[in-house]
Amino acid sequence: MTSMTRKEIETAILDFCRKEFEMEDPGMDDDLREKHDFDSIDAIELLLEIENMLDSELTQEEKKQAMDIRTLRQVCDYVERLAASRT
C-alpha cells in the first residue's frame, strides 16, 4: 500500500464505495451522511477496507481520527496520511 499514489487511493476508495455502498455517482466533497445515508455500520466497513488497503490494523487513536470524516476527499486524505506514517 505504501507505494499507492493519491490517484490510486481515490480510485480504490471510489470503487469500494460504488460496490459496497451502491453509491451511484459519489462526489469527492459530498457529505457522506447527508447525501449517501452513510451510517456507523458503513463507517466500520470502510475502516476495515482501509485496514486492508494499508495491510495493517488501525490503532484506537487512528480510528478516533476517522470520526470527523465527512467526505470522500477526507477519506482519501486520511488514507494518504496513514500510508505515509507506515513507510
In a domain, 19, yes or no: yes
In a domain, 32, yes or no: yes
Q: How many structural domains comprise the chain?
A: 1
Residues 28, 36: contact at Cβ < 8 Å? no
Q: How far apart are CA 3 and CA 61, in angstroms?
A: 23
pTM of the predicted model, to two decimals? 0.92
The CATH number of whichever domain residue 25 belongs to comes to 1.10.1200.10
In a domain, 45, yes or no: yes
Q: State pLDDT tens for residues 36-75.
A: 999 999 999 999 999 999 999 999 999 999 999 999 999 9
Q: State pLDDT tens for residues 5-48.
A: 999 999 999 999 999 999 988 999 999 999 999 999 999 999 99
In a domain, 1, yes or no: no
